[in-house]
Structure 1
Amino acid sequence: MGAQIRVYRDKIRSTSSMKKIFKAMELIATARVGKARSHAEASTPYAEAITRAVAAVAAQNDIDHVLTQKVDQPQRAAVLVLASDRGLAGAYSTNVIKQSESLLARLKHDEVEVRPYLYGRKVQAFYDFRSREYEQVWTGNTDSPVVETAKDIGRTLVDRFIQPTDEGGVDEIYLVFTEFQSMVTQEPVVKRLLPLAVVESEQNKGVHPLYEFEPSPEEVLDALLPKYIESRIFSAMLEAAASELAARQKAMKSAGDNANDLIQKYTLLRNNARQAEITQELSELIAGADALASS
């Protein structure tokens, strides 16, 4: 009986230690998610403005540019999946991976070859565990993105989009990430960045004003495209970071509550075991006293 009490004491002690870790991680995520939300909200106006600017250039009918030409039967697509570097964030990475798997299945059904690009150790581990190939991976600072990483990703994707298809280039670029809606809701979404005609039809409906371009519209597109891709990717990275921190805060709070329940359960079991031990000892004493009295 004493051994059973020691087991419950050890479980209470270890669960209490884990509860402290969960509480610390919850407080860290709570402190950082506000800043991440502010950064995500601050990046949105610039991303929307440059999207309107690029769409306005692409809307000109007399422009002959590779970036405005929609391929009727695309052969190859690049898919950038944004997940997290660390766990303990609930189903955050799992949900975005599921969303990307649905997109990959749809593209393969349409006989489109997929070239995955990964951001975050969790999605990299998902591909490595299944021995699946991917083009390139970026890791580090998923919960606090840096613009240099967004520029590197943007250059890589733009170079692959401009490259001819028969030389390994892609016809489409998709972005899969988690969109921050509130502290309670984070929704994994798929955004199609290129070709530009798709972006225009989805996000910039309506009549565009007429512009005169100096230099030519093609040169303007060449200058705007990297900035457009970088801003959209960085904005998505900031949204994903805020979503990751919110998911981690919620997961750690739930883990702390579960730890409290376990501590209460183990405490009750320990008390029951101790009460049973005391009862047994009293019974033995009473039986011994009765035996001595009868003798």
Structure 2
Amino acid sequence: MPNLNGLKSRINVIKNTEKITNAMELVSTSKLRRLRNEFLSISSYQATLQNILNDLINNIEPRKLYSIFPKNTTKGKLYIVLTSDLGLCGSYNYNIFNLLKEKIQPHDQIIIIGNKGISLFKNSKLKDQVIKTIANVGDSLSYEFSSSIIKIALDLYSENKICAINLLYTEFINNLTQEAKLFQLFPFVLDKEKVGTKISQLIEFEPNAETVLVKSVPLFLTSALYKHAFSSKISEIASRRNAMENATNNAGDLIQNLQLEYNRQRQSLITQEITEIVSGADAT
């Protein structure tokens, strides 16, 4: 009897857990549907800006372009690492953390965004390379927030403290697939074969293409960061939805197995009681 009570208690606990994971799955599904529509608009805006950037670069002579963005002499790079504030999202944060460990060098610096990333780095060998942490971003992720991060990064670059600004984020491929990625925000990765190829075309920039490009760098970088951060947010929710779906399915399987075991033991106990009653009757 005590064993039956224990099984019944386990079944009830798992049923309660199943309700929680199922509810979280439904919430994540709803959020994912809404954010995907927003992401399409953000991606479209970023694609337009990228085309403008390409036109600017292609309308500047290579010599002038490389003088606008001279290479810094320092070897250190900045890594902006995007992680989640909440857990229960599978291997989402660990994939980012493992990718960073593959790429980072001792002279590099790190900005961590997200509670889970901060927790991971707290006990890591890389903790001394962290120059800034930002927690509890949650749903307050915005263009203004991205702009503030880019300002910090560009200040470091202008002071020759870093030679590149890299972004570690999670690319949303579809509801089932998300991939940790490294993207170089700045200096811009240039296609040397296309630089300066449109100088002869009738495109006018006021006062000139070089000035427009220099003034627009924060805009381009902020937009790129915002788009990739939004991709990370959708990936987090998709990963959480998948994790909760798997947890709900596993809970259902476990409940079914425990229920079968409960029924088997209960049937065995009933059979034993009947046998004892019959044996007692025969003895009298």
- TM-score calculated relative to the size of structure 2: 0.89
Q: Which position in structure 2 is the counterpart of 1:248?
A: 240
Aligned to 1:41: 40
In 2, Cα distance between the equivalents of 1:201 and 1:99? 26
Structure 1 residues 4 and 281: alpha-carbon distance in aligned structure 2, compared to 1, 3 A threshold: same
Q: Are 2:57 and 2:65, in contact at CA under 8 Å, matched by a contact in 1?
A: no
Compute the TM-score of the two structures, normalised by the length of structure 1. 0.86
Kept after mapping to 1: 8 A contact 2:57/2:195:
no
Deviation at 1:274, TM superposition (A): 0.9
Q: CA deviation at 1:43?
A: 1.2
After superposition, the Cα gap between the structure-2 partners of 1:66 and 1:290, relative to the gap in structure 1 and judged at 3 Å, is farther
State the distance in 2 between where 1:42 and 1:67 align. 31
Q: Residues 57-104 of structure 1, C-alpha deviation per residue, up to 9 Å, x if partnerless?
A: 445234367762235x75110001111111111111111221222221
Aligned-residue identity in percent: 27
- Structure-to-structure mapping, 1:64-103, within 5 angstroms: 68-71=69-72, 74-103=74-103
Confirm or deny: 8 A CA contact 1:143 1:242 kept in the other structure: no
Please identify, of 135-144 and 38-47, the stretch whose mean Cα deviation from structure 2 is larger.
135-144
* Residue 222 (structure 1) aligns with: 214
Structure 1 residue 245, shift from structure 2 partner: 1.1
Task: Work out whether 1:195 is the aligned partner of 2:187.
Answer: yes
Q: Point out where structure 1 has 5 or more consecutive residues left out of the alignment.
A: none
Q: CA deviation at 1:142?
A: 4.2
Give 3-state SS (helix, strand or coil) of 1:63's partner: helix
Structure 2: 5+ residue runs without aligned partners? none
- State how many pairs are aligned: 277
Cα-Cα RMSD? 2.3
2:176 aligned with 1:176: no
Distance in 2 of aligned mates of 1:66 and 1:229: 19
Please say if residues 37 and 239 of structure 1, whose CA atoms lie closer than 8 Å, have aligned partners that are also in contact.
Answer: no
Q: How far apart in 2 are the matches of 1:180 and 1:190?
A: 13
- Please give the alpha-carbon distance, in whole angstroms, between the structure 2 residues aligned to 1:93 and 1:143: 17
Q: Where do 4+ consecutive residues of structure 1 move more than 6 Å?
A: none
CA shift, 1:247, in A, is 1.0
Distance 1:4 1:282, change over 3 A: same
Map 1:22-171 to 2 at 5 A: 22-59=21-58, 60=60, 61-63=62-64, 68-71=69-72, 74-104=74-104, 108=105, 113-130=107-124, 132-133=127-128, 134-142=130-138, 145-163=141-159, 165=160, 169-171=161-163
